[in-house]
Amino acid sequence: MNKFLISPAANFAPSVCIGLIKVFFFVIISILYGHNNNNNNNMGVIGATKVMTLNQTVVPALFAFGDSIIDPGNNNYLKTIVKCNFPPYGRNFIGGIPTGRFSNGRIPTDILADEILNIKKLLPAYLDPSLQLKDLLTGVSFASGGSGYDPLTSQVVSVLSLSDQLEMFKDVIRKIKAGVGESRAGMIVSKSIFLICLGSDDIANTYLTTPFRQPHYDITAYTDLMAESASSFIQDLYKEGARRIGVVSIPPIGCVPSQRTLSGDISRGCNEQGNQAAILFNSKLSSLLTSLNNKLPQATLLYLDIYNPLLTLIQNPATYGLEVANKGCCGTGNIEVSILCNPFTKQSCNDASTYLFWDSYHPSEKAYQLLTHMVFDHKINNFF
């Protein structure tokens, strides 16, 4: 992993941003999407109470693998421009701190760990040098903004691949075994929930934006490649002892603000090519999980649909207490994301809780809270 790591003290530098904007626009802008001060209002029509009470004897830990949607700051420690550890990111996070989460506040894994699984308030980044054994025992996130099922996706932007994330999880198992013994470590792994969330970057960036894959794959073949990678990764996790595994589908990526902008549609409608690709992959992912449930006798594999819940918010924002659904809060909301959403970005909205999207690709904390409950409230008991 040393090829990626940099000093935690490395900070955002405006001069670097200027020289990288052209490259960033072409390679990065399409790969990312995707406690508020008004916490009591964040749940909208979903309701603010927990739908179930789980304690750590049922779910001892949450381990997360994926991309920027659930990256709590791993990219802070990588040699990549896919970062957000600077304002205005995190402006509604605890203490107003930009932690490297691609949002104005918490992200889905924080909400899942706290409000649904009742494990801990925040799910930390594995690369955070301050982590202790007690943090590992209740779970961490290995997710890296810009990653994907396709190995090329992470290579293009120098972030953690799925194989990198798997190796880090193996390292966690070794540390847990050394700390609490092999028997307890096995129990923790077998009873924990494993969350996989990625694929958007493969389609929005690697396939639709860069010239690397389209000459060799049509979208059917490319989504086959993604599904094969997903299958291999899930089976690798199973070999390491994981049994409760939830896999999040790809959202309607053609409807996020940056994709609306890049499509060139003057009316800023959704990019249907991106949405259709997401639907195609999601159908393959759902079938794959059904097949693996039969193949892996002790596994409980859940398909977690994010496509339809997010589309519901996009089409009916007012129903959920949202006012703006076609652009982000940061800057103009049309193109700003990662280093383009920075301390010098002007015109940002005053209240991110009224926006579905924080930047041009990632939902706001309020939207994440709505979506996390919409996805998990009726699914979580299926793990048991």
Could you read off the pLDDT of 352-370 as tens digits, one per residue? 999 999 999 999 999 999 9
Catalytic residue among 141, 161, 348, 362: 362
Q: Is the pTM of this model over 0.85?
A: yes
- Please say whether the beta carbons of 366 and 49 come within 8 A: no
Q: What is the mean predicted confidence (pLDDT) over 65-91? A: 98
- Please say whether the beta carbons of 330 and 358 come within 8 A: yes
pLDDT digits (tens, 9 = 90+) for 166-225: 999 999 999 999 999 999 999 999 999 999 999 999 999 999 999 999 999 999 999 999
Quote the crossing angle between the two packed helices 162-180 and 219-239, to the nearest 10°.
Answer: 10
Q: List helix spans (H) across 307-364.
A: 307-315
Task: Select from 370, 373, 372, 362 the least CA-distant residue to 89.
Answer: 362
CA distance 191 to 211: 42
Concerning whether 305 is annotated as a catalytic residue, the answer is no
**Domain chopping of the chain, boundaries:** 62-255+272-306
- Cβ-proximal residues to 1 (8 Å cutoff; 6+ apart), any chain: 164, 167, 168
Concerning whether 68 is annotated as a catalytic residue, the answer is yes
Number of C-beta neighbours around residue 133 at 10 A:
11
What is the domain class of 62-255+272-306 according to CATH?
A: alpha beta
- Please say whether the beta carbons of 115 and 376 come within 8 A: no
Q: How many Å from the N-terminal Cα to the C-terminal Cα in the chain?
A: 35
Catalytic residue among 164, 201, 202, 359: 359
Task: Select from 274, 275, 276, 283 the least CA-distant residue to 227.
Answer: 283
pLDDT digits (tens, 9 = 90+) for 275-291: 999 999 999 999 999 99
CA distance 46 to 319: 10
Catalytic residue among 30, 68, 144, 161: 68
Concerning whether 359 is annotated as a catalytic residue, the answer is yes
